A and B are shown apart, each in its own frame.
Chain A
Amino acid sequence: MRASYLSIQVIFLLALQVASFVVLWVISPLTQSATDTFSLYLAMDLVAFVILSYVYRSLRMSREPSRAWLALGYLTVVVLLVSNLVLS
């Protein structure tokens, strides 16, 4: 995997985390649906961080990050994001 692709992914994930952090900060979860939104955004945030961490660990161990794991991670992020949008 080319380094530029990885850099783009890392920037995308960081942007996603910033955006979800803002949403988490703004939400005031008192009702059940707001609590669900909060939980799903936080879960998405954590998964994004796991992808970042996985890329870092792979590069550190001089290994190519697995495309399958990355795809699974992004799919999870997308599923969580879409379910959040549907919920709200």
Chain B
Amino acid sequence: MTDQEGEGGVAGRVAGWVDSRLGLSHPVLRPVPQYALNPFYWLGALAVVAFVIQGVTGMILMLYYIPSPTQAYSSTQYIFQSVTNGRFLQTVHLYTAYAMIMLAFMHMMRGYFVSVHKRPKEVMWVVGMLMGFVTLGFGFTGYLLPWTVVSYSATHVGVGMVNALPQPLSNLLNFLIVGSGGDAGELLRFFDLHVVILPAVLLVLLAVKMYMLEAHGVAEPTSGASPEAKAKTLPIFPDVTVYVLELSLLFGAGMLLISALFPLNLPAEYSAITAGQATPQPDWYFLWIYQILKVSVFDVGGGLAAALSVVTLVFVVLVILPFIDRGKTRAISRRPVYVTLGLIFVGELVMLSYWGYETPGATIPTEQAALVVGGTALLIALGSLLAYRVLYSRAKVRLQTVPAARLPRTEVRSGLAFTVLVAVGAVAIGTFLNSIVGIALGDYSLASVGLFVMSGTALALDVLGSVYLIYRLDLRTGGIRRKVKALEVGWRE
């Protein structure tokens, strides 16, 4: 018996006994800096909590679920209607799956914005991305299991897409998800992947990532940490453990609240009749891919492969990001290009997902897609530019001791003018293109020609307005004015 075991009455003796066996007061994990007691540092940990909740609820559901095309739906319905807490377990299982995907995405984007992917954590980022793919794999394989008409139809669109992928990826994925073929073989393969293979892969990747986190330590704030801040650390047990427990319980309470507010309803069972009436639509986390596939330019022969190449390129860029963004600085204020690109990425994902949700089964004209995607990117880029200019001008104001109130107001006015010009420009370009197409197809009506003239004029005025605004904005620095003057009088700077 150790000294600890004999102190502090019964409770102290019990605590001492546990501690002497588990070594909780001498943790092997390194202490955590106090600045890391911030929920944003624990988004990945919360995704793991969601994974654990899914593991527990999934194991109970597995006791009742039968992975066969004839019984999958009825067993799901049985869990829903007849098993005590079955409805609760199924709802929590689904919503924590959604939360896991969302938390993994937020964890990735936070990591991107605060540059945790930079040296020496490049491999850690790559492992994290692989974990993200596995998480999406959970969603894809789990979606089919209830065998509802929506899940079956959407999953088969996904399975069909696999054939359009380049080799050897297509063969590999076919081997993994289709198996011997037929509904029964496929459902069983999805079930195996969902409950055995993917969890095992995720656990291995998690262990590798945790090992690397332990080796590198928690990332410092982007502004750097003072030696005093670095010195203020907390032991992993009990302080950090209790903090993470609090976050996890709050997360659990949030999930329960959401499942009470938005109860789950089981859609109709898949059958040949119901399949004809349903429009295949994937779950929300794949809607952006679905929307890209619906653009008419990808509707021709070989278009599917081209669309999937675009999607694959996005994933490849995300994986190799640490080897592209190699700058040493981590401060958000000094990475305007990468931060803007990240914001555009998030904005496009949200926009495409919402658009995909709102237009199930509809083909999207290429010009419309180009305008919406381009307009979103432009608006976000301008918003980001404005934000950076306001922040920078504030910094300059402090340095130059110019009155602080006036400069940001000018920036806001310029930003608003830019936004109006972009909005007018987007409408003018769309109308102009439409009228050109109409005239080219032989529509010489007054409305068509009138639209052509008006949109053309609006576009020209918009361009002139943009040039004028840029010229006005430049008056303070005089860069453009000097160049115009140089052009007029033939100077050489």
Given contacts A44-B253, A46-B249, A47-B250, 5 further A-B contacts (CB under 8 A): A29-B87, A36-B260, A49-B249, A50-B249, A60-B242
Q: Say yes or no for B246: interface residue by CB 8 A criterion.
A: yes
Known A29-B88, A60-B238; contact A39-B81, beta-carbon cutoff 8 A? no
Q: Would A40 and B239 be within 8 Å (CB), given that A28-B84, A29-B88, A46-B249 are in contact?
A: no
Scan residues 32-76 of chain A and give those whose CB is less than 8 A from a CB of chain B: 32, 35-36, 38-40, 42-44, 46-47, 49-50, 53-54, 56-57, 60-61, 76
User: From residue B114, how far is it (CB to closest CB) to chain A in Å?
Assistant: 25
**Cβ contacts under 8 Å, B91 to chain A:** 35, 39
Does A30 belong to the interface (CB within 8 Å)? yes
Chain A residues with CB under 8 A of B238: 60
Q: Is the interface of A mostly helix, strand, loop or mixed?
A: helix
Contact of B256 (CB < 8 Å), options: A30, A39, A50:
A39
Is B85 touching A29 in the complex (CB atoms < 8 A)?
Answer: yes
B25 close to A (CB within 8 Å): no
Q: Mark B237-259, 1 if CB is under 8 A from A, else 0.
A: 01100110110011011101101
Which of A49, A57, A76 contacts B243 (CB under 8 A)?
A57
Leading 6 A-B pairs by shortest Cβ distance: A43-B256, A39-B260, A43-B253, A46-B253, A39-B256, A36-B260
B263 interfacial by beta-carbon distance below 8 Å: yes
Chain B residues with CB under 8 Å of A76's CB are: 253
User: How far in angstroms is the closest Cβ of chain A from B290?
Assistant: 30
Residue positions of B touching A, CB distance < 8 A? 81-82, 84-88, 91-92, 234, 238-239, 242-243, 245-246, 249-250, 252-254, 256-257, 259-260, 263
Please tell me the number of chain A residues within 8 Å of chain B, measured between CB atoms: 24
Could you write out 21 A-B pairs with CB less than 8 Å apart? A28-B84, A29-B87, A30-B82, A30-B84, A30-B86, A36-B260, A38-B88, A39-B259, A43-B257, A46-B253, A46-B256, A47-B249, A47-B253, A50-B246, A53-B246, A53-B249, A56-B242, A57-B239, A57-B243, A60-B238, A76-B253
Q: Which residue of B86, B250, B253, B263 has the most chain A CB atoms within 10 A of its CB atom? A: B253
Say how far B42's CB is from chain A's closest CB, in angstroms: 14
Q: In the docked arrangement, what's the CA distance between A67 and B317, Å?
A: 46
Please tell me if the beta carbons of A40 and B88 are within 8 angstroms of each other in the complex: no
Main secondary structure on chain B at its contact with chain A? helix
Collect the chain B residues with CB atoms within 8 Å of residue A49's CB.
249
- In the assembled complex, the Cα of A57 lies from the Cα of B34 at a distance in Å of 13
Q: Please state if B253 and A61 are interface contacts (CB–CB under 8 Å).
A: no
Assess the A61–B260 pair: CB atoms within 8 A.
no
**What are the residues of chain A within 8 A of B86 when measuring CB–CB?**
30
Residues of B within 8 A of A60 (CB): 238-239, 242
Q: Give Cα distance in the complex from A21 to B250, angstroms.
A: 18
- B-side contacts of A54, CB under 8 Å: 246
How long is the Cα–Cα vector from A36 to B256 in the complex, in angstroms? 9
Do B256 and A42 touch across chains, with their CB atoms under 8 A apart? yes
Chain B residue nearest to A44 (CB atoms) is B253
Chain A residues with CB under 8 Å of B84's CB are 28-30
- Distance in angstroms between the alpha carbons of A40 and B250 in the assembled complex: 13
Task: Decide: A39 near B88, CB < 8 A? Known: A46-B256, A61-B239.
Answer: yes
Contact call B242/A35, Cβ cutoff below 8 A: no
B85 touches A40 (CB 8 A): no
Contact B263 A32 (CB under 8 A): yes
Find chain B residues with CB under 8 A from A36 CB.
260, 263
Given the complex of chains A and B, what is the CA–CA distance between A57 and B249 in angstroms?
15
Closest B residue to A38 by beta carbon equals B88
Instruction: Give A63 Cβ to nearest chain B Cβ, in Å.
Output: 11
Tell me the complex Cα distance, A3–B191, Å: 54
Chain B residue nearest in CB terms to A77: B253
Closest to B265 in A: A32
Minimum CB–CB distance from A70 to chain B (whole Å) comes to 13
Chain A residues with CB under 8 Å of B87's CB are 29-30, 32, 35
